Amino acid sequence: MTTHPYSDEALVQRLPGFTNHYATVNGITLHYVAGGSGQPLLCLPGWPQTWYSFHPIAGRLAERYRVILIDLRGMGTSEGPPSGYDKKTMAADLYALVEQLGLEKVSLIGHDIGGMVATSFAFNYPERTEKLVVMDGAHPSEGLFHMPLIPAPGTFGEKMDDRQPYAWWMGFNQVKGLPEQLLAGRFRLLLDYLFAYVMIDDEKMSAFEREVYAHYYDQPDRIRSSNAWYQTLTQDIADARHYSSLTMPVLGIGSRVSYGYMQIAIPQIATDHRVVGMPDSGHYMIEEQPDEVLRHVLPFLSE
């Protein structure tokens, strides 16, 4: 039987030393890919990607760590139930996985939505969190309520403005039912627009990678699930009011379009923190500047 080129079985062959796994945790099935040895490092992707988004840096990370690339609830081939997309519940998925794998403490790297979930894990399970790295995405806060519905004059062009960024999909993804009707089977159109808009050099996102993500997000249930990550932001904001500041080491990495936001967001949630900028990269920094990402991440994790 021929393996589909975008299946987990085929994709993992592109990462020597990594293997596919499934685990039933917190009432759902999560898919993850694991490789390497050493201290455990959970890698959490963002929208609209899957575990495969970490492939440019996974091999290097696995030289020092036990790397676990996770499809979050509703992502890739992980289960996408009708509810449970608040970041506290998604963090509980990870905690159950950590427990099942017998891991005492883990470090986490989260990008975008994955950064929100990683931060929620650190808030809710600080005793199990060694270090936290968040890239262009910290825990949702009340600042999201001030995002503009209409872009400021002169700020909405072909590339995302780095002074007054206009993330229109934050509103679009709030709509229930309609996005999956519009985008099912044609998600590649959104992907191509999004990558061109938020990346400095969107050619760094290959045609193959685009097809991988389109393959999964073309499905109506994946669109519904991933939009639910955004539809639960108000619950996330409410949960954040009850959290104490993080005390483990936290590294925030901001791209050209998000560095200013990260400079504000990270100090508000952590006492032991640093924030670095990557002005030569857009939002999808793992694809645009993988070596630069590793230049910041590896020393921080090894300190």
Q: What is the pLDDT of residues 137-173, one digit of tens each?
A: 999 999 999 999 999 999 999 999 999 999 999 999 9
Q: Say whether pLDDT at 237 is over 50.
A: yes
pTM for this one? 0.98
pLDDT tens column, 256-279: 999 999 999 999 999 999 999 999
Q: Say whether pLDDT at 2 is over 60.
A: no
Asked if residue 235 belongs to a domain, the reply is: yes
pLDDT for the residue 69: 99
Segment 126-146 mean pLDDT? 96
pLDDT more than 90, % of the chain = 99
Q: How confident is the model at residue 134 (pLDDT cuts 50, 70, 90)?
A: very high
Strand-strand pairing, 129-135 and 273-278: unpaired
pLDDT for the residue 21: 98
Query: What number of residues does the chain have?
Result: 303
Asked if residue 1 belongs to a domain, the reply is: no
Segment 23-36 mean pLDDT? 98
Quote the domain boundaries for residue 131.
Answer: 8-302
> Helix-strand-coil percent breakdown of the chain, rounded to 5?
45, 20, 35
Q: How confident is the model at residue 1 (pLDDT cuts 50, 70, 90)?
A: very low
Residues 60, 79: Cα–Cα separation, whole Å = 29
Total domains present in the chain: 1
Nearest CA-CA partner of 61 in 260, 303, 301: 301
Nearest CA-CA partner of 259 in 290, 293, 282: 282
Q: Say whether pLDDT at 189 is over 70.
A: yes
Residues 252/138, Cβ–Cβ less than 8 Å = yes
Residues 132, 118: Cα–Cα separation, whole Å = 7
Mean of pLDDT over the chain? 97
Segment 93-116 mean pLDDT? 98
Q: How confident is the model at residue 3 (pLDDT cuts 50, 70, 90)?
A: confident
How would you label 98-117 residue by residue, b for 16+ Cβ within 10 Å and e otherwise? beebeeeebbbbbbbbbbbb
Q: Where are the beta strands (DSSP E) in the chain?
A: 19-25, 28-35, 39-44, 65-70, 106-111, 129-135, 250-255, 273-278
Asked if residue 2 belongs to a domain, the reply is: no
Could you give the dihedral angle defined by the CA atoms of residues 214, 151, 133 and 238, in that order, rounded to the nearest 10 degrees? -100
Q: Say whether pLDDT at 103 is over 70.
A: yes
Q: Say whether pLDDT at 231 is over 50.
A: yes
Asked if residue 86 belongs to a domain, the reply is: yes
Asked if residue 181 belongs to a domain, the reply is: yes
As a whole number of Å, the CA-based R_g of the chain is 18
Residues 278/255, Cβ–Cβ less than 8 Å = yes
Asked if residue 3 belongs to a domain, the reply is: no
CATH number of domain containing 205? 3.40.50.1820
Segment 89-110 mean pLDDT? 98
